[in-house]
Amino acid sequence: MRNDDAVLESAMIETQGLGKQFGDFHAVSGVDLRIQRGHIHSVIGPNGAGKSTLFNLLGGALLPSRGSIRFSGHDVTGLSDTQRVHLGMARSFQITSLFGQLSVRENLRLAAQAVMRRDAACFWKRVERVEQASQRAQTLIERLNMQRYADVCAGTLAHGQQRMLEVGMCLAARPKLLLLDEPTSGMGVNDLPVMRDLIQEVARDHTVLLIEHNMSIVLTISDRITVMAQGKVLTEGTPDHIQGHADVRRAYLGSGALS
């Protein structure tokens, strides 16, 4: 975790009055959010609090009903998810999304190739671009410590390894901001420390916005935590602030959940 004054002054992504309405239902309502550059910022809250809708708005899968989103100095409110990827966002999902019949190496290579905007979908590619994507894949295999699985089909990996690979595929885009939606979902106890360590390592050179239900991980690695309830921000602060916040205990975690 970092408290550098220069980092604190610079927002990677910021929302003002952000809202999403489905008919008469306000899934997200009036959210002001400021994610500092270089931080791990976690969003927590009960099911139905609006966390995933917020992530969909930030990543561009949904467009807001109202409010604005600025990312790295750009107004991205009306941009698509693909356009935001090319500006430097990358996102994982609750449900693992991999090419199961392809190897770990090929999954990472394709993810790297996909952001080479001029020829990502072109059959005839310049050789150096394929080589660059292959080199990026190898670098990520080493970063993920998955050398022994490099040529193994992704669909045969254990769930925890698949989740790690998905984070690697996000990193292949060299993002400024990494949006991780419940990265530890479904992981076994032995895999949790590995994912925790990976997120901390990734945060050395990426801003990380995290939805996570595992409070032990959230309280350990987060610089800031935003608590949502009923589509709104209940409170925001440091882990110590959240751990001692009476309203958070009552509305979400229970009196002993953060002890």
Round to whole Å and give the CA distance between 39 and 62. Answer: 24
Q: Is the pLDDT of residue 137 over 90?
A: yes
Mean pLDDT of the chain: 87
Q: Phi first, then psi: what are they for 125, rounded to 5°?
A: -110, 150
Give the contacts of 47 (CB within 8 A, at least 6 positions apart): none
**Domain residue spans of the chain:** 1-88+175-259, 102-174
CATH number assigned to the domain with residue range 1-88+175-259, chosen from the 4 options 1.10.10.10, 3.30.70.260, 2.60.40.10, 3.40.50.300: 3.40.50.300
Q: Are 201 and 140 in contact (CB under 8 A)?
A: no
Instruction: Render the burial of 226-259: b for 16+ CB within 10 Å, e for the rest.
Output: bbbbebbbbebeebeebbebeebbebbbeeeebe
Q: What is the DSSP track for 153-190?
A: BGGGS-HHHHHHHHHHHHHTT--SEEEEESTTTT--TT
Q: pLDDT exceeding 90 applies to what percent of the chain?
A: 70
Q: What is the mean pLDDT of residues 115-140?
A: 70
Q: Which of 44, 172, 59, 43 is nearest to 106 (CA)?
A: 172
Residue 92 banded pLDDT, cuts 50, 70, 90: confident
Q: Are 17 and 30 in contact (CB under 8 A)?
A: yes
208: β partners? 40, 178
The string of pLDDT tens digits covering residues 139-169 is 999 999 999 999 999 999 999 999 999 999 9
The string of pLDDT tens digits covering residues 30-69 is 999 999 999 999 999 988 999 999 999 999 999 999 999 9
This prediction has a pTM of 0.86
